[in-house]
Structure 1
């Protein structure tokens, strides 16, 4: 499973590059791992455990050369909601189940399907998650006391409003110091890990100037142990599996989207190509393993992956080193991490939320004022005010409905006749005075599927004596047909047969033809009634018209009409000569 080809030509120089990049990313990952865990409602050390176990496995087993895995901000609202509703033990089981789903998706080669999730849906729920993360840190930023966290955004905002009077100025100052350092380093020293420097600066200032006046990780969650937890398999029952299936599927889908999006970003930065199915399998194995050590769900982290590439990573070894660095720091400096103020963690997550919000793409899509804007807005609002599961489900359903509507509008059926000037057929030649009562030629454009069936059905002639005896469908511009479209076509055949008419088809494409063969409609219509060229089909149609009905007709829809109606013979008596041969029309 491990892609050993990624380690070909690996050298001492490559190892040096991986050591440097792995150490840099490892240092960056520590404050992020703790912050994401706290925001997800679990102890900070669980974020570190996830960074170590999942980070190493994702780099070793995944399909991206430079992917860095671990806990991410996108998971925060989901994990907090699952933990609050089902408990920490069930959160671990849901993570393992999500890992199994990811492995199955990769094994079944479904990685490419993730790319078909519409952009308005991904931007909408990403922006919604950013809002939840950002607002979720307000209480810690201000040092509010007695805050109870809720699943719903409105409840949390109400809670903050009720406790604004408990604001701690020391917490506010601590958070402001950290935020200022992060913003300044991003502006003047972008290669420096601003989150770590800000965290250290704020912690030192708080310890020196107002020790004991701000809440710390140790006072809120207890001391962080400097060892990995012992291996423990959670108690799994069928009842738990049934209740956690929906949350696990949501974790898997979001993890797949986030990891493959990160892999695509890595490809663009490094000029490599990832294997999406192997990436899903690697992510799945990592998410199965991490909960066995107390870790929360993990996925590819875009910011850390980008930092890995910018730092000169040469192979997946950098990701393994990043996990090892986090483990060493845990062993050596865990007691010091317990003294970190919670207020110093909040600006880190606020900046993460701001960077992941995709605000520019959100506003640009919103300004288009199209159906996509509606999908975007509804997905965003549901993410913030309802939950991510409902947001994604409704967003996808709306996107599918919008797609079907658009594809239905693309489908066109127009009645056409030959144009002697251009030797082609066109709808401009059809009028009340210029039409053929016996032959109806129709150009069908666009996919003939359930979303366009109503247009096709309403445009086609029905049965009865006043309808054409022969209907010719030009289907060169029908790339796709589903069984609903086939059913409509079968209905047209029945109408024609009931009135003694027949259907001719020209220029049909491979997929519709194959479907007609599978359903038996191809044989029912008749193999001889399918033509490669429209001109051949028109010649056949003219050979089968009723000569008696043509006599006296003045529509002159075809060049042959003069001879068929007797008009040419009358003209010949007057000394005129008319051309009456069917030429290459068509």
Structure 2
């Protein structure tokens, strides 16, 4: 292992920014044109009913869902980090945005659209900043119990929120509002709305089983059946989507005059965007055996969400259903995502007036199926067998997702998992203390140390990162050391030391000095040595006592015992680091 292996590479700004260059996506778009176009059209057909439903669920109207799908498709196709990912409005983000919109309505009771769009724009800006900070890799450190609890919680939220519109009533502003409202709605349900919603839901559920070849996606077929049923039976007492404006969207320029009110929500939306998008990218990676670029994906989502904030779209993220459909239809580059966005744009510009024929109950049936699909059915059968801390983490995230806030739930879940892993690392940290005469391997041939002195030479071997989680374990071991003259601290297998670890070493050194003992470090890695030097730990040991190998420390002890340092060439001896 070379001495420079652990040195930090020099920063290269050009290489750093090149990671976010859209040319990475553009240069491969010619490689799969026919299949990408076909996949893009198919995914657009799947995405349209979902976009309409999510737009209505957000409280901003069906057109807001469509413009989000258009922005997500085109902009993330250009700037994103997954060749097969397709973006648009998703359940978690729409649920969060709907809660924020409900809490910030104008005095008239109407949504504060300018505030909402400014917050969406700001969330995109936050995503870009986080992408430039290269935080994408941390998605791989998210425990599965957190992901599972989060997805199950989102599924429950969507189902609870869609029960009232299925029964013919308005969508409640919150989960607690839905729980309070559902008993009344069941007692006073509107039969026509329930018929439409159940017919839509049943069609989506059964359509894949009735047809071998999916020439029409199940959500679109459900939309057709539910809408046709409402008009054929002339149901007049049910709500329909408000008419959508034709043509280019109304533009909303960000207004940050209430920055303090929107920053929390913007961070929540940005966090969900990153979490939702990168989890979907992992699914795509498993299906295609490719590897997405997490930071570029976050950057692309930031661009898309800024676009949503300007054109009046709900927030966007990489969507699992659309991404999986894209892969199955043969999409392999960002061109498929762009085609999907362009097809939706054409539909929005030409067919927007016809959206007013779609019943709200029909969209509720579509979203009910979405909520059911989001739940993690892999973990449900083994809930009672999960390890205790995983179970605590799962239920905490699930309950907090439903009752408090999505971002709070994620934060608490990750914190629980973090505390657990730190505790386990501390308990499992490898260390041992032996005296010189307990070492089974022979000492170097040219070393002569009296037997009575060997009892006074102790070796403390540390393995693994020396951080706050293991400090207590090591301190309890080292505090029991008494009656020694030399202490050799083996550091060859310590890749990093934080401040807690550094000051733990300082305490060990101070205690050794109080007993009149001499301390040696062996095998310090360059980065570890730099950190200890900056914190003035090395100067307490002295540079002369920072040696490369255990044998070198033994030779140094012999020299100190003899009262002189003989001039001789360094001799390579067998390293006793494993003893």
Please classify the TM superposition score into its range, dividing by the shorter chain length.
Answer: 0.7 to 0.9
Q: 2:318 aligns with which of 295, 300, 317?
A: 300
Q: 1:243 aligns to what SS in structure 2?
A: helix
| Unpaired segments ≥5 residues, structure 2 | 1-19, 105-111, 444-451, 564-572
Partner of 2:251: 231
Q: Is the 8 A contact 1:215 1:342 kept in 2?
A: yes
Per the TM alignment, residue 543 of structure 1 is displaced from its structure 2 partner at its CA by 6.6
Partner of 2:23: 4
Q: Which moved more, 1:405-414 or 1:282-291?
A: 405-414
How far apart in 1 are the matches of 2:147 and 2:467?
A: 27
Q: Is the 8 A contact 1:76 1:133 kept in 2?
A: no
Distance 1:2 1:541, change over 3 A: closer
Partner of 2:201: 179
Distance 1:538 1:203, change over 3 A: same
How far apart in 2 are the matches of 1:9 and 1:344?
A: 39
How far apart in 2 are the matches of 1:40 and 1:297?
A: 10
How far apart in 2 are the matches of 1:187 and 1:313?
A: 24
Per the TM alignment, residue 210 of structure 1 is displaced from its structure 2 partner at its CA by 4.0
Deviations 1:482-541 (A, max 9, x none): 121111211222222233211123344444333223323223212332343334434554
Q: 1:359 aligns to what SS in structure 2?
A: coil
Counterparts in 2 of 1:235-250, with a 5 A limit? 235-237=255-257, 240-250=258-268
Distance 1:53 1:449, change over 3 A: closer
Per the TM alignment, residue 229 of structure 1 is displaced from its structure 2 partner at its CA by 2.2
Q: 1:379 aligns with which of 397, 422, 442?
A: 397
Q: Is the 8 A contact 1:412 1:455 kept in 2?
A: no
Tell me the TM-score normalized by structure 2: 0.84
Distance 1:499 1:119, change over 3 A: same
Per the TM alignment, residue 7 of structure 1 is displaced from its structure 2 partner at its CA by 4.2
Per the TM alignment, residue 401 of structure 1 is displaced from its structure 2 partner at its CA by 1.7
Partner of 2:422: 404
How far apart in 1 are the matches of 2:74 and 2:499?
A: 48
How far apart in 1 are the matches of 2:49 and 2:574?
A: 79
Q: Which moved more, 1:180-189 or 1:248-257?
A: 180-189
Q: 2:46 aligns to what SS in structure 1?
A: helix
Q: Is the 8 A contact 1:118 1:399 kept in 2?
A: yes
Distance 1:495 1:232, change over 3 A: closer
* Structure 2 residue 528 is the aligned partner of structure 1 residue 506: no
Per the TM alignment, residue 155 of structure 1 is displaced from its structure 2 partner at its CA by 3.4
Q: Is the 8 A contact 1:231 1:292 kept in 2?
A: yes
Tell me the TM-score normalized by structure 1: 0.83
Distance 1:174 1:276, change over 3 A: same
Distance 1:245 1:315, change over 3 A: same
Partner of 1:525: 541
Q: 1:398 aligns to what SS in structure 2?
A: helix
How far apart in 2 are the matches of 1:171 and 1:474?
A: 73
Deviations 1:388-431 (A, max 9, x none): 13212222222222222122112243322457795289xxxxxx
Larger radius of gyration: 1
* Structure 2 residue 218 is the aligned partner of structure 1 residue 200: no
| Unpaired segments ≥5 residues, structure 1 | 426-433, 548-581
How far apart in 2 are the matches of 1:365 and 1:530?
A: 52
Count of residues in Structure 1 that have an aligned counterpart in Structure 2: 532
How far apart in 2 are the matches of 1:274 and 1:178?
A: 36
Q: 1:94 aligns to what SS in structure 2?
A: helix
* Structure 2 residue 118 is the aligned partner of structure 1 residue 93: yes
Distance 1:244 1:108, change over 3 A: same
Partner of 1:279: 297
Distance 1:271 1:441, change over 3 A: closer
Per the TM alignment, residue 247 of structure 1 is displaced from its structure 2 partner at its CA by 0.8
Per the TM alignment, residue 14 of structure 1 is displaced from its structure 2 partner at its CA by 3.8
